[in-house]
Amino acid sequence: MALQSSGQITLGDVNAELDLSRTTSNTSLGSANIRDLFDVASGQISLAANGYGKANNTVLTISSNTNNYNIASATTGAGGDLNTNVLLTINSGVTVGSSSAGTAAMYTSTGWGNGVSISITNNGAIVGGSGANETGTGGAGGTGGPGGNKGNCGPTSGTSGNSGSSAPTGTGNTGGDAFEHSQSGSNLSVIFQTPGTRTAGAGGVYTAQGGGGGGGGGGHNVNNMGQYSAGGGGGGGARGAGGGAGGRGGQPYGDGGNMCPGPWTGSAGGSGGPTAGGAGGAGNPKRNGGPGGGGGSLGASGGGGSPRSTPGGSGGSSGSSYSNTGSSGLALAGNTAQIS
C-alpha cells in the first residue's frame, strides 16, 4: 500500500511493501529492490528519512462503471508514478466499456519505466465498443416506362418500367478492443491475476438498398367515337442521389387526323428522388388515358401503369440490396507478448 508517513519503520514493513513475507531475512539495505523503493541510488539509507510514504505498488480500484480507462493517467492521478508497480482491481458487477470503437475500453498508455508490472484482478467485465453501423447510398433507380399510344405513334400499351440497379458494396466498421497493451518493448508486463470477462466489440453493419424500380406506363384509351388519348409515363425509381428518369407520356393521333402527336398527350412521369420514387404521369383527361405507375422507393418495385383500352406496363423490380458486417475487435490487443 505504502510505508507509513510517521513513526517507526521496521524491516518487516519494508518486506511487506516489497510483497515479501514480513519475516524474510533481509539485512542488506543496499539491495536493488530496496534502493528502488527508497529512491536512493547509493550510500546510506535511513528507514525513516528515506522511507516515509514510499510505495512499491500503486493501488487502483474501479468501483463503478466507466469508459476508456487509461491506467497510466489513473496511476499518476492517484499519486503514483510510471516507475511503480500497479495493483488494479475491477470490482464485481462493474463494466469498463468504451465510448467508441476507436479507443480500447482499458489501455496501459505509454511512458512506463523498465521492469514495471501491472497486476489486474478483474472481477467485472472489460468490453470493447461496437463498430458504428453505416448506411450506404442506394443503387440507381430504374427509369419509368412510356405511356401507351395510338399504334402508329408508338406502343399501344403502357411499357414496363426498368429495374433498379444493385446496391453498391461496402465494408462494415471494425469493432473496438477490450484491453490494449500500448507500451512497446519488454519493459512493462501486464498480469491478469483474474481474467474475468474480456469481450471484443462487435463489428458494425454496412447496409445499402437497391435502387427502386421504375413505374410502368399507363395504357392508352379510345372512346366509342374512335378518339384516342395517351397514357401517362411511369415515375422513375429512387436511388441515393437522383432517381431514375420518369417515362415520357404517350402521344396519340389527333382527332380525325393522321398526324402525330395528337392533342391529348399523356404527362411524363416524375424523376425519382434520394429515397422516394417519382410520381407517375397523368393520362390525358380528355379521353381518360391511364396514369403511369409511381416509381419504387429504395429497395421497392415500381408500380404498374393503369390499363385503359390497352394494358398498363408493369413496374420494374428493385435492385438487390447489400449487407456486410465488419470484423470484431480484439479481447487483448497491442503488445500481447507482454500480457499473461
Domain ranges for the chain, please list them.
11-131+174-204+327-338
The rounded distance, in Å, linking the Cα atoms of 284 and 281 is 9
User: Rounded to whole angstroms, what are the CA distances from 269 to 5, 131, 244, 290, 293?
Assistant: 87, 41, 10, 12, 8
Q: How many whole angstroms separate alpha carbon 68 and alpha carbon 105?
A: 4
Cα–Cα separations (whole angstroms), residue 25 to 11, 29, 38, 70, 91: 9, 11, 18, 38, 35
Q: Report the C-alpha gap between 43 and 281 in whole angstroms.
A: 98
Q: Residue 106 and residue 179: Cα distance in Å, rounded?
A: 5
CA atoms within 13 A on the CB side of 204: 19
For residue 242, what pLDDT is reported? 44
Calculate mean pLDDT across residues 87-111.
97
For 241-290, what is the HEC assignment? CCCCCCCCCCCCCCCCCCCCCCCCCCCCCCCCCCCCCCCCCCCCCCCCCC
CA 314 to chain centre: 38
Whether this prediction's pTM lies above 0.85 is answered by: no
pLDDT bin (cut points 50, 70, 90) of residue 325 is very high
Q: Could you give the CA distance from residue 219 to residue 214 in angstroms, rounded to a whole number?
A: 16
Task: Report DSSP state, residue 30.
Answer: T
Q: In sequence order, which residues have a C-beta less than 8 Å from that of residue 77 and are 6 or more positions away? A: none
Average pLDDT, the chain: 85
Angle at 250 between CA 244 and CA 252, to 5 degrees: 170
The x, y and z cell numbers of residue 185, run together, are: 518493448
pLDDT of residue 287: 72
Q: What is the pLDDT of residues 10-34, one digit of tens each?
A: 888 877 777 677 766 655 545 556 7
Percent of the chain with pLDDT over 90: 49
pLDDT tens digits for range 45-67: 887 778 787 767 899 999 999 99
Beta strand 179-181 with 332-334 is parallel
More confident residue, 74 or 255: 74
Q: Is the dihedral of CA 253, 257, 263, 264 positive or negative?
A: negative
Mean pLDDT for 207-225 is 85
Q: What share of the chain is helix, strand, coil (3-state, %, to 5)?
A: 10, 20, 70
